[in-house]
Amino acid sequence: MGLTADLNVSVQSLLASTESMDVTTTNMANMNTPGYARRRVVLEESAPSGDDQSSTGVDVKTVQSLRDSVLDLSINANTAQQNLNSTLSSSLSAVQELFSDTASGSVGSSIDSFFSSLQQLSTSPADSSLRSGVLTAAANVASAFQSTATVISQAQQQADRSVVQSTDDANSLLQQIAATNAQISTAQDLGQSSNSDQDQLSSLLSQLSAIMDYKTVNSSDGLTLTTSEGVPLVVGSKAYPLTSQVNSSGFNDVYAGNTDITGTIEGGNLGGYLQARDQTLTSLGSQLDQFAYQFAKAVNTVQTAGSDANGNAGTALFNPPDTTTGYAAGAASAIAVALTSGSQIAAASTGGASGDSSNLTQMLNLQNQAIIGGSTPTDAFSNLTFDIGNTVSQANSNATAIGNILTQLQNQQGSVQGVSLDEESSNLLLYQRSYEAAAKVISTVDTLMGNILDMGVTNPGY
């Protein structure tokens, strides 16, 4: 052990303290940076040196980012699910209002009014103003179907535009992820720290999970990103951008490379928009079409079995349906009143007198008959109300439940990687002291060495 060795040890100590303070400063500076995980200097004893191998200094082994990758994965997966549910809910909010019991001019209430107008007519079957009232009520039924179909289709188009927008957003992130992958791999090849790139990657993955679900695999050339079905999105430094292609329904399908992944996206905003557009609203729209078709068909069947006020055979009240093909698609947006005068309402049975209401009774009976896919018109509407309400309600409660889980997970994540100012300040004190101590040793060694050199100066005669 010698003074020179002490000097070396102290210099190492100075360097280690400086680096530690650098890390502390970095932590403090990035305490609010998204994706940033607090760093910590890992110190180790250096290899012994000196004649008797007794001087052991300190080395900075590495600067470590404190990150729990399992927790990160879990947070991203939950974020994807939460966004899917909240997006699904918001995409359906305008539509579900039309199925509320207070919605004025809803399909359900207009059908109620239609039957009321028929009831009124039954008290005075020849009354021309009551007959006009029935036509008005029928027109309201038609326009209720039409406007509901329009709102559903607008919601679908809105979701479709958002699908394209989300695809663009995802592409920008995929490219950044690929670039970051490349940087990490370069840094690793050069033996440099990739901590800041990892932070960046973490932030990008978290942003991507808000848009869509994905799987990650760590491979030799960095992180590989695929869809849940294994279609590659990012492999190493190469991103496979998503593209959209218009399908036969006029909506945009999402492709990764040449693979249609539309049906496999089950998370994030994109998943929510797709589920609203392709599942909930599509199903609702076709049920509404069936509803309109079967309602019109049932009314027309009774109407054509009777006689109108002038003794003529009744003709169809509603257009369509085309009963020859039984084709219901688009019926809700196409339904319209075909009659032009109230006198054409076939209140009488065939050959009945102008004041006969026996066919009207048949038409009134429709209200309590299972004419819409095995349900009465009211029950059919009520089922739609339940379905849409239940979908939104489940999406809301899922979003809330997942939100609570996320809060827990984010707290855990914060406890692992969050920067605590108190902790950093206290570390700063420690590093400051060790720096001071090392500096003190250096100045002491300096003094001692000076003394030794002075000895030569004061006794030149030896």
Partner 1 sequence: MRVNPNYSADMVNLMDQAQQNENNAAQELSTGRRVSLPSDDPAAEAAMIGENSRSAAVDQYTANSDSLTSVLNTANSTLTSVNSLLQRAVTLGVEGANGSMNQSDLNSIAEEVSNIQSQMLSLANTSYAGHYLFAGTATGSPPYVADTANPSQIDYVGNDQQNKVQIGTGLSVSANLPGSSIFSQSGANVFDALQSLVTALQEGNSSAIATAQTSVSSALSAVGTAQVFYGSTVDELTTNETFLSQEKLNITTYENTLVSADTAAAATSVTQDENVLNATVEAAAKMNQSCLLNYIQ
**Which residues contact partner 1 by CB under 8 A?**
31, 89, 93, 96-97, 99-102, 108-109, 112-113, 115-116, 119-120, 122-127, 348, 352-358, 361, 364, 367-368, 378-379, 381-383, 385-393, 396, 403, 407, 410-416, 418-423, 425-426, 428-429
Instruction: Report in angstroms how near the CB of residue 359 gets to partner 1 at its nearest.
Output: 11
- Closer residue to partner 1 in complex, CB, 63/416: 416
Instruction: Report in angstroms how near the CB of residue 59 gets to partner 1 at its nearest.
Output: 26
Instruction: Report in angstroms how near the CB of residue 348 gets to partner 1 at its nearest.
Output: 7
234 forms beta bridges with: 225, 239
Instruction: Report in angstroms how near the CB of residue 164 gets to partner 1 at its nearest.
Output: 27
Instruction: Report in angstroms how near the CB of residue 126 gets to partner 1 at its nearest.
Output: 5
Cis peptide bond N-terminal to 321, omega within 30: yes
Of 206, 203, 198, 220, whose CA–CA distance to 63 is shortest? 198
- Closer residue to partner 1 in complex, CB, 259/383: 383
- Closer residue to partner 1 in complex, CB, 242/348: 348
- Closer residue to partner 1 in complex, CB, 97/229: 97
DSSP collapsed to 3 states, the chain: CCHHHHHHHHHHHHHHHHHHHHHHHHHHHCCCCCCCCCEEEEEEECCCECCCCCECCEEEEEEEECCCHHHHHHHHHHHHHHHHHHHHHHHHHHHHHCCCCCCCCCHHHHHHHHHHHHHHHHHCCCCHHHHHHHHHHHHHHHHHHHHHHHHHHHHHHHHHHHHHHHHHHHHHHHHHHHHHHHHHHHHHHCCCCCHHHHHHHHHHHHHHHHHCCCEEEEECCEEEEECCCCCEEEECCEECCEEEEECCCCCEEEEECCEECHHHCCCHHHHHHHHHHHHHHHHHHHHHHHHHHHHHHHHHHHHHCEECCCCCECCCCEECCCCCCCCCCCHHHHCEECCCCHHHCCCEECCCCCCCCHHHHHHHHHHHCCCECCECHHHHHHHHHHHHHHHHHHHHHHHHHHHHHHHHHHHHHHHHHCCCHHHHHHHHHHHHHHHHHHHHHHHHHHHHHHHHHHHHHHCCCC
- Closer residue to partner 1 in complex, CB, 153/412: 412
- Closer residue to partner 1 in complex, CB, 186/425: 425
Instruction: Report in angstroms how near the CB of residue 130 gets to partner 1 at its nearest.
Output: 10
Those residues whose C-beta lies under 8 Å from the C-beta of residue 191, and which sit 6 or more positions away, are: none
- Closer residue to partner 1 in complex, CB, 286/361: 361
Instruction: Report in angstroms how near the CB of residue 302 gets to partner 1 at its nearest.
Output: 15
Sign of CA dihedral 132, 138, 144, 150: negative
- Closer residue to partner 1 in complex, CB, 99/240: 99
- Closer residue to partner 1 in complex, CB, 189/422: 422
Instruction: Report in angstroms how near the CB of residue 25 gets to partner 1 at its nearest.
Output: 13
Distance (Å, whole) CA 191 – CA 189? 5
- Closer residue to partner 1 in complex, CB, 208/388: 388
Instruction: Report in angstroms how near the CB of residue 226 gets to partner 1 at its nearest.
Output: 30
- Closer residue to partner 1 in complex, CB, 127/221: 127
Instruction: Report in angstroms how near the CB of residue 20 gets to partner 1 at its nearest.
Output: 16
Instruction: Report in angstroms how near the CB of residue 309 gets to partner 1 at its nearest.
Output: 9
